[in-house]
Amino acid sequence: MARGDSARKVARAARAGDAGGSSGDRRRVGFPVAMAVVVILGVLLVGWARSSREATSAPRLGDHWHSVYDIYSCIGEGSWTWKSKIVVEQDPDGIHTHGDGLIHIHPFNSNATGRRSQLGVFFEAFGGYITDSAVKLDTGEVIEEGFDCEGQPAVLTVARFDAQDRGRDPQLYTQDLADIRFLKNLEAFTIGFLPAGETPPPPRPERFTFLETVDPRALISNVPVLELPTTTTSG
């Protein structure tokens, strides 16, 4: 009888051991799965927060900023030229010009808001482009760095000025030019082809004059694609 009880106890202990082993295995498998779920949820939350910040960062839909721009290029020994204003007003996203020497940053959609509000978007709007070595204008003219400029190769440099504090030294860029972001209302940009290390001058005074007198209410575009001008304005 004792031997039978002992056998039953051994059998029960073995079953208990098997059950305990299965529970331990489940715990060992369940922990990394739970951690993986936590990591995935964390990544999704960070992505959502980042996209939310992007959606609300300036410039936002409804903002209407203005920046001066000008294009300055060496054309030979000691000779320089300012290129004509962009006159094509075609604009799919809301970063455009009205042929006035200004960049109107007036996002129509999220392609031109926040960090997507970039110099490259402005060039693309009128059918041009800006790379780290060349620009294409609305006339179809392409200016590419490397040509002789006072005995040195011309380098494409963009200078960012503060139109409200023109005495401040500009920020200079020679890389990732299409990604230069518009940071606030009333900036000024000179896109220059000069010898390496030289600073482009501020845009021409008349550009600032128009910036100071422009009435944004008269220039808000009601449609994403604007009519092309019938005449060409130079200067």
First to last CA, the chain: 114
- pLDDT surpasses 60 at 80: yes
Instruction: For residue 19, give the H/E element and its range.
Output: helix 2-56
Q: Which of the two residues, 194 and 39, has the higher pLDDT score?
A: 194
Answer for the pair 129, 144: CB distance below 8 angstroms, yes or no: no
Q: Which of the two residues, 233 and 165, has the higher pLDDT score?
A: 165
Domain ranges of the chain: 1-56, 65-218
Question: How do residues 197-227 score in pLDDT, each as one tens digit?
Answer: 999 999 999 999 988 877 555 444 444 433 3
Question: Residue 76 — very low, low, confident or very high, per pLDDT cuts 50/70/90?
Answer: confident
Question: Residue 126 — very low, low, confident or very high, per pLDDT cuts 50/70/90?
Answer: very high
Query: What is the pLDDT, as a whole number, of residue 211?
Result: 87
- pLDDT surpasses 90 at 193: yes
Question: How do residues 84-123 score in pLDDT, each as one tens digit?
Answer: 999 998 889 999 999 999 999 999 999 999 999 999 999 9
Listed range (17-31, 92-106, 181-195) with the worst mean pLDDT:
17-31
Question: Residue 28 — very low, low, confident or very high, per pLDDT cuts 50/70/90?
Answer: low
Mean pLDDT of 9-26: 51
Question: Residue 191 — very low, low, confident or very high, per pLDDT cuts 50/70/90?
Answer: very high
Answer for the pair 137, 179: CB distance below 8 angstroms, yes or no: no
CA nearest 126: which of 117, 134, 135? Answer: 135
As a whole-number percent, the residues of the chain with pLDDT over 70 amount to 67
Query: What is the pLDDT, as a whole number, of residue 57?
Result: 78
- pLDDT surpasses 80 at 185: yes
How confident is the prediction for the chain on average, in pLDDT?
79
Q: Which of the two residues, 50 and 186, has the higher pLDDT score?
A: 186
Phi, psi of 33, deg, nearest 5:
-65, -45
* Helix%, strand%, coil% for the chain, nearest 5: 35, 25, 40
